[in-house]
Amino acid sequence: MNAMKMKSMTKPSIKRLRRGTWPASKGIDPWPEGTKPRRRKRRRLTLAVLPTLLTLGNGVCGMASIAVATSALLDWTSEEQLFVAGLLIFAGMVFDALDGSAARMTGQSSEFGAQLDSLCDAITFGAAPAVIVWRFSSILPHRIAWAIGVIFALCVLIRLARFNAETGEDDKHEGFDGLPSPAAAGTIASFTIAMPHVEYLTHESETAWIRQVAEFTLGTCVYLLPVLAILLAYLMVSRLSYPHVVQQWIRGRRSPNQIGQAMFAVGGAIVLKEIALPLLFCWYAFVPAVQQWRRIFEPADADKLDASPIEAAAAEKSDHEQGG
């Protein structure tokens, strides 16, 4: 009995052996020389300061937008609250554009930054626009407005998750599969920014037909915005191609015709400044989709109709020579 007790007292504890804390005073070295295990050092995560701060600024704008849109303590009208909430979403878009550029310029792109960016995007471009849809569409039943906002937010989450799963580190970001979530959120926010200016025209404009058009626009947008939210949600999870406008215009070369179209667009935005923002965002969201849907139902020879007269004549001559 005593022998067994002594044996159990001198037998090293497995847990203490793993920790390497067996007392050396007993004169027992349980590990052969050179085989003592080392503790694994945890890899410490280091953060890129500037890109991380810009990304967090995006998240702060999204949370502030939600707080302003739903606050009952502010001495503002509902239109003023939604106006500021829309501006905060656009501020989040600025932060979202700057954080990626800052990370690439400083060579500090990382998986952590990409995941943090998606989480902040989910707040600013998913939750905040959903809250705006709830508050903006006061005429609709709460159940319908709530369902539309939830569908929009869930499609933003799906869009962000798919983007993270399918985008590699060497991607040039020249285009997108599906409508980008900042563009969808910007479309929703642009209406809240434009509505106070349109309402101003209803009672301050000296022209009668402008007042009538402004009143019609205000009444229509209450029903139009929920419908747009559903369409934008679908476009985000679709496989339709959308261009990266900033990248293509900065790095690419454009024909004189395209530059002329851009100049006319800028001129139209100046003339129709009250509704220019919603028109531009709706143009980006829906025109590429309509063009791609139209190609699906067009016949094979329809590409010749879109070509210039010289290109069409050259194509016809080539077909004639091949047929001869």
CATH of the domain at 257: 1.20.120.1760
Cα(213)–Cα(202) distance, integer angstroms: 8
Residue type (1 letter), 227: V
Q: Are strands 175-177 and 241-243 parallel, antiparallel or unpaired?
A: antiparallel
- pTM of the predicted protein model: 0.75
Copy the structure tokens of residue 280: 């531009």
Question: Does pLDDT of 62 surpass 60?
Answer: yes
Residue 242 pairs in a beta bridge with 176
User: Does a structural domain hold residue 1?
Assistant: no
User: Does a structural domain hold residue 42?
Assistant: no
Share of the chain above pLDDT 70, in %: 70
| Residue with more model confidence, 110 or 26 | 110
User: Does a structural domain hold residue 103?
Assistant: yes
User: Does a structural domain hold residue 12?
Assistant: no
Reported as a pLDDT band with limits 50, 70 and 90, residue 324 is: very low
Counting the structural domains of the chain, the total is 1
Q: How far is CA 165 from the centre of its chain?
A: 15
User: Does a structural domain hold residue 279?
Assistant: yes
Range of the domain at 238: 49-299
Q: What is the residue whose two structure tokens read 């203490």? A: 16
The predicted model gives 301-305 an average pLDDT of: 48
User: Does a structural domain hold residue 8?
Assistant: no
- Judge contact between 234 and 155, C-beta under 8 A: yes
User: Does a structural domain hold residue 216?
Assistant: yes
User: Does a structural domain hold residue 43?
Assistant: no
